[in-house]
């Protein structure tokens, strides 16, 4: 009889222990981890540059840009630049107790209106900030256009590799991680700032920051990497077409619209759409407490 009571009591103790709340995961990323990620990104850029220089020198090319007959080197450089950072962030997330790797493709949430809105707003924003881009130094843009003009390899890099790797890192990993210690607005702002800095060239960096805001908003609203990868790919594809048609990926709308009156009317409409969209963006993300379909604190 006493043995039965003892077994029952032990069973109750085990049951009570199983009901104890699980210790919450620590907030991620810490500031030290964030700086470490930036450091790894710098090192991976240096590694990619060294590999490119060595390969070009070994094949008898002295140019600092990738020649047309070695277009395959462009995607290799991109992978060497971003893959180490992605693996490092995944490692930090798992060390912090976050089992999920930040991949939320969610094709079923890829609604066409949201993607169309994102593509149009990227176009609108690029026109609105166009005068500001003219004030920034364009050093490096010609070299970038030269590298992009390598046919099929450039298309693969710009329309496939770059959107997948960059969206996985800056939206899928960073926003998903940052929302565990800050609201959606700050997570998107900081991820967009890092997205801009990663592009290096001042003109491209400022434009990437604004584009990053739009992509971040779409990602929070849809919780779908597939949606932002699609928008990113379309945007890069348009840049590649402009490069092929006009010899530059940063051709100005003012140069394409010959009539000044029509240009200023179009600019005014775009400016209003941009301001209204940014206000909606700030209000919506500031009041957003959770990622659609995913608990904000657990995996």
DSSP-based three-state secondary structure for 217:
helix
Residue scoring higher pLDDT (149 or 224): 224
In a domain, 85, yes or no: no
End-to-end CA distance of the chain: 45
- The proportion of the chain whose per-residue pLDDT surpasses 90, expressed as a percent, equals 33
In this prediction, residue 10 has a pLDDT band, given cuts at 50, 70 and 90, of low
pLDDT at 148: 62
pLDDT at 171: 92
Lowest mean pLDDT among 14-23, 54-63, 133-142, 186-195: 14-23
Residue scoring higher pLDDT (141 or 58): 58
pLDDT at 69: 76
Q: Which domain holds residue 272?
A: 102-286
Domain count, the chain: 1
Rounded Cα gap, residues 104 and 225, in angstroms: 6
Question: How many contiguous H segments (helices) and E segments (strands) does the chain have?
Answer: 14, 0
Rounded Cα gap, residues 281 and 207, in angstroms: 17
Contacts 24+ apart (CB under 8 A), 282-288: 282/185, 284/217, 284/221, 285/183, 285/184, 285/185, 285/188, 285/216, 285/217, 285/220, 286/183, 286/184, 286/185, 288/183, 288/184, 288/185, 288/220
In a domain, 212, yes or no: yes
Rounded Cα gap, residues 203 and 181, in angstroms: 31
CA 241 to chain centre: 22
Query: Average model confidence (pLDDT) for the chain?
Result: 80
In a domain, 235, yes or no: yes
In a domain, 155, yes or no: yes
Q: Is the separation of the CB atoms in 191 and 216 below 8 Å? A: yes
In this prediction, residue 147 has a pLDDT band, given cuts at 50, 70 and 90, of low
Rounded Cα gap, residues 263 and 281, in angstroms: 26
pLDDT at 253: 81
In a domain, 256, yes or no: yes
In a domain, 1, yes or no: no
Q: Is the separation of the CB atoms in 143 and 77 below 8 Å? A: no
In a domain, 124, yes or no: yes
Rounded Cα gap, residues 278 and 273, in angstroms: 9
Residues in contact with 251: Cβ distance below 8 Å, sequence separation at least 6, in sequence order: 242
In this prediction, residue 223 has a pLDDT band, given cuts at 50, 70 and 90, of confident
pLDDT at 232: 95
Residue scoring higher pLDDT (67 or 259): 259
Q: Is the dihedral of CA 249, 48, 216, 104 positive or negative?
A: positive
CA–CA distances in Å: residue 228 to residues 19, 72, 88, 225, 256: 40, 25, 22, 5, 28
Residue 294, pLDDT above cutoff 60: no
Residue scoring higher pLDDT (27 or 173): 173
Query: How many Cβ atoms from other residues are within 10 Å of residue 71's Cβ?
Result: 20
In this prediction, residue 140 has a pLDDT band, given cuts at 50, 70 and 90, of low
pLDDT at 19: 47
pLDDT at 188: 94
CA–CA–CA angle 105, 212, 299 (5° rounding): 40
Residue scoring higher pLDDT (121 or 56): 121
Find residue 161's DSSP bridge partners.
none
Q: Give the pLDDT confidence of 30-44 residue by residue, as tens digits.
A: 778 888 988 999 999
pLDDT at 98: 76
CA 288 to chain centre: 20
Residues in contact with 243: Cβ distance below 8 Å, sequence separation at least 6, in sequence order: 145, 148, 149, 249
Lowest mean pLDDT among 1-5, 100-104, 179-183, 192-196: 1-5
Tokens of 263: 């240009």
Mean of the pLDDT values across residues 274-284?
92
Q: Give the pLDDT confidence of 84-114 residue by residue, as tens digits.
A: 999 999 888 888 877 666 566 666 667 788 8
Lowest mean pLDDT among 5-9, 87-91, 106-110, 204-208: 5-9
pLDDT at 104: 66
Greatest extent of the chain over all pairs of C-alpha atoms, in Å:
99
Whether the model clears a pTM of 0.75, i.e. scores above it, the answer is yes
Rounded Cα gap, residues 201 and 294, in angstroms: 35
pLDDT at 146: 62
Q: Is the dihedral of CA 102, 105, 109, 111 positive or negative?
A: positive
In a domain, 132, yes or no: yes
């Amino acid at each position: 009889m006493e043995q039965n009571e003892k077994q029952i009591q032990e069973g109750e103790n085990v049951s009570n222990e199983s009901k104890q709340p699980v210790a919450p995961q620590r907030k991620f990323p810490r500031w030290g981890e964030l700086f470490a990620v930036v450091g790894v990104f710098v090192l991976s850029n240096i590694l990619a540059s060294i590999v490119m220089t060595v390969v070009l020198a070994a094949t008898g090319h002295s140019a600092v840009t990738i020649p047309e007959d070695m277009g395959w080197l462009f995607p290799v450089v991109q992978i060497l630049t971003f893959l180490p950072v992605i693996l490092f962030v995944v490692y930090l997330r798992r060390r912090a107790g976050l089992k999920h790797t930040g991949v939320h493709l969610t094709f079923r949430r890829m609604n066409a209106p949201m993607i169309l809105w994102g593509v149009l707003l990227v176009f609108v924003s690029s026109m609105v900030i166009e005068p500001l881009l003219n004030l920034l130094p364009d050093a490096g843009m010609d070299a970038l256009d030269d590298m992009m003009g390598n046919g099929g390899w450039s298309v693969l890099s710009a329309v496939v590799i770059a959107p997948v790797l960059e969206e996985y890192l800056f939206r899928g990993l960073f926003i998903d991680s940052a929302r565990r210690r800050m609201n959606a607005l700050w997570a998107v702002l900081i991820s967009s700032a890092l997205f801009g800095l990663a592009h290096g060239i001042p003109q491209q960096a400022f434009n990437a920051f604004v584009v990053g805001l739009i992509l971040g908003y779409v990602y929070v609203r849809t919780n779908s990497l597939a949606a932002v990868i699609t928008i990113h790919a379309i945007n890069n594809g348009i840049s590649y077409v402009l490069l092929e048609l006009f010899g530059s990926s940063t051709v100005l709308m003012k140069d394409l619209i010959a009539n000044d009156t029509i240009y200023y009317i179009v600019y005014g409409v775009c400016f209003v759409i941009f301001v209204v969209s940014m206000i909606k963006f700030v209000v919506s993300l500031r009041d957003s407490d959770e990622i659609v379909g995913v608990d904000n604190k657990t995996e």
